A = this chain, B = another copy of it.
Amino acid sequence: MARVHNFSAGPAALPERVLQEAAAELMDYQGCGMSVLEMSHRSAAYREIIDDAEATLRRIVGIPDSYRVLFLQGGATLQFAAVPMNLMRTGRAGYVVSGVFSGKAQREAERYGRAEVLATSEAEGFTRIPDLAPVEERAQADDLDYIHICQNNTIYGTMYHELPRCLDVPLVADVSSCFLSMPLDIERYGLVYAGAQKNAGPAGVTIVIVREDLMGAGAALPCCPTYLDYRTQADAGSMLNTPNTFGIYLCGKVFRWVEDEGGLVAMEARNREKAALLYGLLDRSTVFHAVAEPASRSIANVTFRCSTPELDAEFVEGARARGIEGVRGHRAVGGMRASIYNAVSLDDVRALAAFMEEFESRHRIG
């Protein structure tokens, strides 16, 4: 079968080049006589792979030496605990709740200290990023260990178009679903983390980029598992124990692909073009309507609905029949969601748009 148009929210489409290279090398990596899957993480060959992955990521994002890059496991969910365990020195942090995952992060942090909700858009059904004025005001007191945001809300299809000004309070961001979608001004943050399975690679790798001075020796809470201690992992080069070797290898290939395709500026331009095509269609439609408010719309996840759940179901089924996969919305929102990460091409989006137009003409109101 031909490859489908894959709009899955994550794990998600990977660049075909990455898959082709991985398939070709699977039995024998560059004449080593073994697969990367079989290679000691302490071998010279693997050392080159992980070092190249980190170096490429540093080039494409522009990560200065004052930040460390960690390749961990356990996903953003495990970071919801690791962040407070490492950074809640005085036991008080601020959280912006803009969707399901930022709410989970806030509740998890409550296990380790006080996790104040500084702003939330729950009352608006998370269809927009909350007003950040209270966040910026609260930062002025300078008594929070950090302020946490989820920069792109995969489920609701919203994203921050401006970051809160947190002054001297470190900004911590879950960037899982917008990582590598656009340039990232890393010096605005104390720490960012991302599950790789959207734009950066396969599921099973979590990337943490953390400012060196936030990882004091012995700074983590006593209950912090050694595995989750950022200082310890940074000192061990993410090899405190065996990392997800194959996952990191694939991430490295994705980073190389991003670089060869023009880097994050090019990724953003493409993602904005893909998003504009879909939002334009939604704004003109009498059948579909966008879930997210215009000022908060994501360029990674486009959420929309028909007027009834029956029409939604008909759309999802019709899409599948045309080789368009993964457009069913999250159960918290219903409707549809098209995740248009880097590896989803403009042609994929055009195929979706064409079916939306067809569906529109069949069900037009008035």
Contacts and interface: CB of A to CB of B under 8 A. Distances in A.
Interface string A13-57: 110100110110011100111110111110100000000000000
A82 B74 CA distance: 13
A157 interface: no
Given A33-B3, A38-B11, A243 B28 contact: no
A56 B119 CA distance: 48
Given A33-B3, A111-B222, A227-B81, A245 B27 contact: no
B2 A225 contact: no
Given A16-B27, A204-B243, A80 B35 contact: no
A181 interface: no
Contacts of A242: 10-11, 75, 195, 197, 203
A112 interface: yes
A27 B32 contact: no
A353 B325 CA distance: 53
Interface in A120-168: none
A298 interface: no
A295 interface: no
Given A35-B19, A202-B37, A77 B240 contact: yes
A14 B37 contact: yes
Nearest to A112: B223
A268 B41 CA distance: 27
Given A11-B41, A32-B1, A77-B227, A244 B323 contact: no
**Chain A interface mostly helix, strand, loop or mixed?**
loop
A8 interface: yes
Interface in A283-320: none
B74 A74 contact: yes
A78 interface: yes
Contacts of A223: 111-112, 221, 223
Range of interface residues on A (Cβ < 8 Å):
35 or more
B28 A3 contact: yes
Contacts of A16: 27
A241 interface: yes
A15 to B, nearest CB: 10
A75 B227 contact: yes
Contacts of A342: none
B35 A247 contact: no
Given A11-B39, A73-B74, 14 more contacts: A3-B34, A11-B38, A11-B245, A19-B27, A23-B27, A75-B227, A77-B227, A77-B241, A78-B225, A78-B241, A104-B226, A203-B243, A244-B247, A246-B247
Q: Which 8 A-B pairs have the closest CB atoms?
A: A204-B244, A81-B225, A4-B33, A73-B73, A77-B241, A223-B223, A23-B26, A78-B227
27 contacts: A6-B33, A10-B40, A11-B37, A14-B35, A23-B23, A26-B26, A33-B325, A34-B325, A40-B326, A73-B204, A74-B78, A74-B227, A75-B227, A78-B227, A80-B225, A80-B226, A111-B222, A197-B242, A197-B245, A202-B245, A203-B244, A203-B246, A204-B204, A204-B243, A244-B244, A246-B247, A247-B247
